[in-house]
Structure 1
Amino acid sequence: VSVNSNRPKSPFKPLDKIIDISANDKIKISPGYKYWATKHNLTAMAETINQVRNEGLKSRSQLEKALQEKASEIQKLLTDIKEIENNIDSKNQTMENRYIIEQYKEIHKYAKENPEDKAFLNEYGPQLMLYKKAVAESFKDSNVLPTTKQIYEDLENLHIKKESLIEKLNQSRQEQDRLYKYKKNYDNYLGKEVER
């Protein structure tokens, strides 16, 4: 029983690696394996060249330039993701500050109205310090404390942006890996294997 798959075929099939004929011990003792390896390398290199041409790259220098551009794109995406994560942390801190302000507002109000009540101040000193710190952090950039709904909406938007950037990052990394395989096959076939 055969199952028909409706999945679209990948435009790029996996590349075979080039076999290093000069350094392989099997090739030295088996002429049949040497013949097969030579044929395999020619086929793999032809497939590599075809896929590189399908990418729109006409030369090895264009391939290296595309690799550099892809690395720059990945670095920019990582920077953008880090910036969004910092914004998310900031929004979470704002939410926590808002909670602290709401929770200890009455304590602060009583302490402000009754500054001579030392027993109260001693008992609720840590809460008052938390309240003052939360107020200072919350109002240092703006005179208005954002609503909980507004903070949740901002967080949701930031998470959506982060997810889309992560998708782009994964796609860019796959493209970079594919380009690197092309370059590695070129280098191996031409006998110029370079350390990455």
Structure 2
Amino acid sequence: MAVMKIHPIKTTLKKAIDYICNGDKTDDEIYVTTHLCSRENAHKEFEITKKQFGSRTKTLAHHLIQSFVPEEVSFEEAHQVGIELCDKILEGKYEYVLATHIDKEHIHNHIIFNSIDVDEGKVYHSYYGSYMNIRSQSDRLCKEHNLSVIDQETQREINEIKRRKFVSWHDWNEDKKGSSYKSRLQFDIDRSIKQSVNWQDFLDRMKSFGYEIKLGNHIAFRKEGQQRFTRAKTIGVNYTEERIKERILNKDKELDNIIDLTNNNKANSSKGYERWATKHNLKTAASTLIEIRNKGFNSIEELERGISRISIEKNELKREFDKLSWEQKRIKKVVKHIQICISKREHYEGYRKNPNDKIYMMMNRKDVEAYQKSYEEIDVF
């Protein structure tokens, strides 16, 4: 799934390019690609192109952001999707800088491209139609790379979840108390799974609890008195239709959750519910204890030793992972220097053939020195 945003840049173009190419965000610029311009002087080259065509546009460039679902795409694939997107929407006619940010949980591409093309000086018009074309091309590329594609209804729901989660303290507090629609839906789904023998039985039980059900790509429920349907998947990964069906089949292996009765409004207002919840918690605790014994732990000491053993194994795996991560980073640095040598080789060869040409060296000093430095780094490795 990739979410697209685009906005014009009318000031501080260099600052914007420097930000997206930040080494901390792009692994020392390994995940930075340019087209028809250089990384260091892209802002100047954008301006030169405008002067060549006498362009009067006040828009210096456009900034496109392509965000992916957390843990769905690798750094390399995200960057490749960004390159392919640029090829599709810019058709090789616009100078651009592409940077993939990998420092956050959600990997995302930043693309800054010139506001006019290099062939005719034609101004890029950003409007609803051009945005929908970008989004369409992005969705098609996501499908080709076996990545999920977001629809508008899902995006609206995601925005609503973000608003609830980070803005409304009331919603958070109601969830905490167990009195919100979503916490109630979660509870009813969990207990229906435990009582159901198959999918249809589950649906019938949810209806008996007062829910209207909407089937489709994503199952949704609406409680009596609730205005909008709630997609079950917004509660968590264990509440998609596929996972609910799996949980019904494997319900005997699934442990219930303990209901927190502390400051629980419903328990305080209903003695019947409080008794039921207490009984439920005792059953869950007993089931958990039986499951622990079935795993071969017959005492607290054995369980603690088992946990300690797992902790040691986890630490060993972490050390091995850190070692591999360090090696991967080292390899990435080598690849970066190789890429620099490849891109700057022509400049260095010109200098090597004419070492006394001061004008050539003055014009190409930065590229020559970059080649020499990267070559030395590769030699060290």
Which amino acid in structure 1 is aligned with residue 253 of structure 2?
A: F
**Structure 2 unmatched ranges of 5 or more:** 1-197, 201-241
CA distance in 1, matches of 2:272, 2:375: 79
Matches within 5 A, 1:48-87: 48-87=288-327
DSSP-derived class of the 2:380 partner: coil
DSSP-derived class of the 2:322 partner: helix
**Larger helix share, 1 or 2:** 1
Matches within 5 A, 1:1-196: 3=199, 7=246, 9=250, 12-17=253-258, 36=276, 39-141=279-381
Kept in 2: contact 1:101–1:131 (CA 8 A): yes
The Cα offsets for residues 123-166 of structure 1, whole Å up to 9 and x where unpaired, read as 1111111111111111113xxxxxxxxxxxxxxxxxxxxxxxxx
CA distance in 1, matches of 2:302, 2:199: 41
Kept in 1: contact 2:340–2:370 (CA 8 A): yes
Is the radius of gyration larger for structure 1 or structure 2?
A: 1
CA distance in 2, matches of 1:96, 1:31: 67
Ranked by relative contact order (alpha carbons within 8 Å, sequence separation 6 or more), the top structure is 1
The Cα offsets for residues 87-128 of structure 1, whole Å up to 9 and x where unpaired, read as 333223222222222232333233234322111111111111
Going from structure 1 to structure 2, the CA distance change for 1:123 and 1:9 (only over 3 Å counts) comes to same
Kept in 2: contact 1:105–1:131 (CA 8 A): yes
TM-score normalised to structure 2 length = 0.30
Kept in 2: contact 1:104–1:131 (CA 8 A): yes
**Larger strand share, 1 or 2:** 2
CA drift at 1:30: 7.8
Residues matched between the structures, number: 139
CA distance in 2, matches of 1:31, 1:100: 72
Which amino acid in structure 2 is aligned with residue 70 of structure 1?
A: I
CA distance in 2, matches of 1:135, 1:19: 62
CA drift at 1:11: 6.4
Going from structure 1 to structure 2, the CA distance change for 1:64 and 1:107 (only over 3 Å counts) comes to same
CA distance in 1, matches of 2:260, 2:343: 68
Kept in 1: contact 2:255–2:287 (CA 8 A): no
DSSP-derived class of the 1:115 partner: coil
Going from structure 1 to structure 2, the CA distance change for 1:33 and 1:107 (only over 3 Å counts) comes to closer
Going from structure 1 to structure 2, the CA distance change for 1:120 and 1:29 (only over 3 Å counts) comes to closer
Which amino acid in structure 1 is aligned with residue 298 of structure 2?
A: K
CA drift at 1:40: 3.4
CA distance in 1, matches of 2:199, 2:275: 37
The Cα offsets for residues 28-73 of structure 1, whole Å up to 9 and x where unpaired, read as 9987667545543432222111110122111112222222333333
Kept in 1: contact 2:351–2:361 (CA 8 A): yes
Which amino acid in structure 2 is aligned with residue 61 of structure 1?
A: E
Poorly superposed stretches of 4+, deviation over 4 Å:
2-8, 18-21, 23-38
Going from structure 1 to structure 2, the CA distance change for 1:39 and 1:9 (only over 3 Å counts) comes to closer
CA distance in 1, matches of 2:278, 2:304: 26
Which amino acid in structure 1 is aligned with residue 347 of structure 2?
A: I
DSSP-derived class of the 1:136 partner: helix
